[in-house]
Each structure stands twice: as structure tokens, then as C-alpha cells.
Structure 1
Amino acid sequence: MSRRMIFPLLLGLVGATVLVSLGVWQMQRLDWKLGVIAAIEARIDEAPVAIPDSPTEADDEYLAVRAEGRIGGPELHVLASTRAAGAGFRIIQALDTDDGRRILLDRGFVPEVQKDLSRDTGARIEVTGTLLWPDDRSDATPAPDLGRNIWFSRDIDAMSAALDTEPVLLVVTQSSAAPPPFPQPVTVNIRNDHLQYAITWFGLAAVWIGMTGYLLWRIKRRTD
């Protein structure tokens, strides 16, 4: 082997090793993320329990719970959409539970034309669902249009202040009340791009190896 080939070869080996290592790391992250998602989905599907006395996002998010009580008005309308119905709103109300608590209740979705229909405020209700701390609010999210009662995210702190409830949101998946609103399934919205990243790193490693091989071939031709 020519001495002129040693440095390009070493550079090629180091670069390929780094790129392959990054791809392997992303595959490990993928396995971890899939495990997290599977654990959350399993928790959502567990038998519902009573709402904890002091639920927290760290300990109780996605916990399947049950509650009974009376629906307290007024409603808050959160802009939303579904594939089947298009644009509409999530209906958020207070639930005065039988054990003396007052929490936020995401009762489900209504199409836009049903936004202002009269509903069963004050009625007794039994629900099962999931405790959730939504992350659908960002710095770009507009402030709620209080005049038209249109909210653009489920801001638990602001909504609990508006309805005088605990900062606890129960997303209804089953209800004793007839729809509408239509309860919506809780989905796990955790970003998982690790497979794409792994493919990118492995692809770059293949290109790096190919370029190194081509460079070594050029050097060898010149020295023969």
C-alpha cells in the first residue's frame, strides 16, 4: 500500500465508524421510544380507577379513570377537526363530582354547526376516560377569542381559571350521556423520527465509504 493512501484510508475508516455509530444510536433510541409508546398505550387501556387526590402530569398522565357527577356550565369551545366531520370544536365543561371535586371535562367533538346548541348542563353523568395534560399550545397559539368563545388550545391553567375548577383534565372516551358531543379516542402524539434519522446516518456512511474507495482507487492509479 502506498504511503499516500494511509491518511485517506484512516480518514475514511474514522468517518464511516462515526456515521455508523450514529445510525446504531438512533436505532437504540427507536427501540426506547417504541417502548415508551407501548407503555402509554397499555396504560390508556387499563381498567379505569378513581381520580387520584392530587394528580400530576409526571405521575398520572394517560391514567385511565372514571368519575360520576353533574355537568356544570358554561361551555368552552376549543377549535378542532376530525377527518370524518371536518372543522368543529371540543366541548370543555366542569364536572362536579360526587366526592366534592370540580374538574375539567373534555366531553368530545361537535361539528361547527352544533357549536351553540343547547346541551345537558346540570345533568348527571358517568364517564370513563383519560387524564391528559395536552401539549397543543405553543408560542404561536393565539389567545382565546372570549367574545366568540373560541379557544385555540386546551390550556388547562387558563380553562380551570375560567371555569373555577382544579387544573385537571379528564378526556372522555365513554359517557352515559348520549352524543353529541362525540367522545374522541386519546392518541399518543409523541414524535418518533428515529428510524428516518438512522436511515440518514447509514446512508451517509455508505456514501462516505464509497467516496473513500473511489479516492483510494484514484490514488492507486496515479502511483502504479
Structure 2
Amino acid sequence: MSETGTAKHETDGTRGKAARPRLWLAVLSLAAFALLIALGVWQIERRAWKLALIDRVEQRVHAAAQPIPSPAAWPTVSAANDEYGHVTVTGRFLHDRETLVQAVTEEGGGYWVLTPLQRDDGTQVLINRGFVPAERRDASTRQDGNPEGAVEITGLLRMTEPKGGFLRNNDPAHDRWYSRDVAAISAARSLHDVAPFFIDADAAPRAGGGPIGGLTVIRFPNNHLIYALTWFALAFMLAGKFFVTFGGGLFRRKRFVHEPAGGPDASARRTGSDAGTIVEPT
């Protein structure tokens, strides 16, 4: 094989090896672009869902109070359909079985006071009567605020909070509670026929320094638009880089100038055996 043929073969092989990584890079870039666009679209959909959720909750909170679901409906009570519903319930407090759950509120650090409410039909509902500071943890310091006899409670229906709080598990054996876990509290206090939810009592006045109600925080983070714009921005940045790397040559025009080998400027422009054809990018 001639030296020219050998050189051409080596050049073709080198070009083939260089093209393969560029092909894989192009495929990966296109896949990443599609993924980023999909993530952006997903965040737009999540935003629509979150706005609908906020609207539903606002309607429930400000609706007229309704009786709590009947015991027959308790198995079907869910966060999606019932949480934050404005409800009312009547019964008699079992103050000797109250449970204190650690809380941090706008009033400071302290405890939620969860007290079972005994209903006339024999069922029981846990009522979060509200917040007390640490110095009023002992029930003897707020006896005047514990009503006797039948009471009517109005508040928001809340779903149980199983297991515990952030990095802290409930410890029934030592009576340490970090979340309002209805099932665990019911078992620890020997309650029966208990609703699978609890009620956050409203801010009705409490006599004798009773718990402060109406401190339910209703907040749904809604940063989905920011996330969507971030994903879309990354996608278009990647698209720009892809265009520069792989698509720039598609729009580059080339001007071909042919000079006879014996032309007046041939000696000045000649760079090789094929110097008769000059390629100038424009």
C-alpha cells in the first residue's frame, strides 16, 4: 500500500474514533434535555395540584361548622377529603386522661393538651384543647380551666400524626409525646371506640388560664413555579451548549476559491500539493 493510502486509512480511523464519543455525548445531551423539560412540566402540574389543595382547605376552614363524621364513616375519613374540615362535637371531657404533647407555637415552647371527649353514644374523640406553657404543665395549675359536664367543641378536624416528631419518637412508656398519635395515645390512656382523628379546638375564651386554642398553622409550601423555571432554564442552557458544540457547523458557509496553479498569487498562497483550492470560512 502506498504512503498516501496508508495515511488516508489512518486518518479515517482517527475520525471514526473521534466521532463515536461525540455521538454518545449528543445522545446523552438530548436525554438530559428531555429529562429537564419533563421535570419542569411535572412541577407545573404539582403547582396546579397544590393551588387546588389550598383552595379546598380554605373552603373547609371557613365553612360553617358541621357535626363530625359518624362512627360508621370513620374508616373512610382521609386527609384528602376531610382534613381541616370545620366541625363541631359535644360530650364530656375526661380530664384525668389528658396527654401533653410537646409543641412550639407562636406563643413559645410548651405543650398541646389532648383530652378525650366522651360522647353520649359511647365513642370518644381526642380534642387538642390548645397550648399551655411549660410552667402550666401540671394539671393542678389550671384546674379552673377544666370544664365539667357537657361541652360543645368547635374546631378543625386533623389526621393522626403517627410515630413522633422530627428525629424524636414517641415514648409511651415514659409518657413523652412529640406528635399527636391518636392510636398510641388511646392505647396508653386505655381509651376505646376512639375516632381515628383529633380536633384542634378553636380560639373560644377559656376560663382559669385554660389552654389557648385556635393556634392551628395552615401552611402549604408552594415553590413549584420556582422549581419549574429552574428546570426549564437548565434545559435551555443545555440546548444552547448543544447547539454550539454540535450544530454550529450547519450554519457556517464556506467560500471556495480556485486558483490556477500558475496564477500570480499562487506562490504566496500555496501550502501544499492541493493549494490550487482555497477554503475560506465566511
Aligned to 1:171: 200
Residue correspondence of structure 1 range 31-180 to structure 2 within 5 A = 31-54=48-71, 55=74, 56-58=76-78, 59-74=81-96, 75-83=98-106, 85-116=107-138, 117-119=141-143, 120=146, 122-135=148-161, 137=163, 140-144=167-171, 146-147=173-174, 149-163=175-189, 164-165=191-192, 166-167=194-195, 168-175=197-204, 177-178=206-207, 179-180=209-210
Larger Rg: 2
The structural deviation recorded for 1:33 is 1.6
Name structure 2 gaps, 5 residues minimum: 1-18, 255-280
Change (3 A) 1:51 1:180: same
Relative contact order: is structure 1 or structure 2 higher (C-alpha 8 Å, sep ≥ 6)?
Answer: 1
The alignment of Structure 1 onto Structure 2 pairs a total of residues equal to 217
By percentage of residues, which structure has more helix? 2
User: 1:24 & 1:215 partners in 2: Cα distance?
Assistant: 26
Q: Is the 8 A contact 1:72 1:121 kept in 2?
A: no
User: 1:92 & 1:14 partners in 2: Cα distance?
Assistant: 53
User: 1:176 & 1:11 partners in 2: Cα distance?
Assistant: 64
Q: Is the 8 A contact 2:203 2:215 kept in 1?
A: no
Change (3 A) 1:192 1:57: farther
Q: Is the 8 A contact 2:203 2:213 kept in 1?
A: yes
Name structure 1 gaps, 5 residues minimum: none
TM-score of the aligned structures, taking structure 1 as reference length: 0.79
Aligned to 2:40: 23
User: 1:196 & 1:143 partners in 2: Cα distance?
Assistant: 36
TM-score of the aligned structures, taking structure 2 as reference length: 0.65
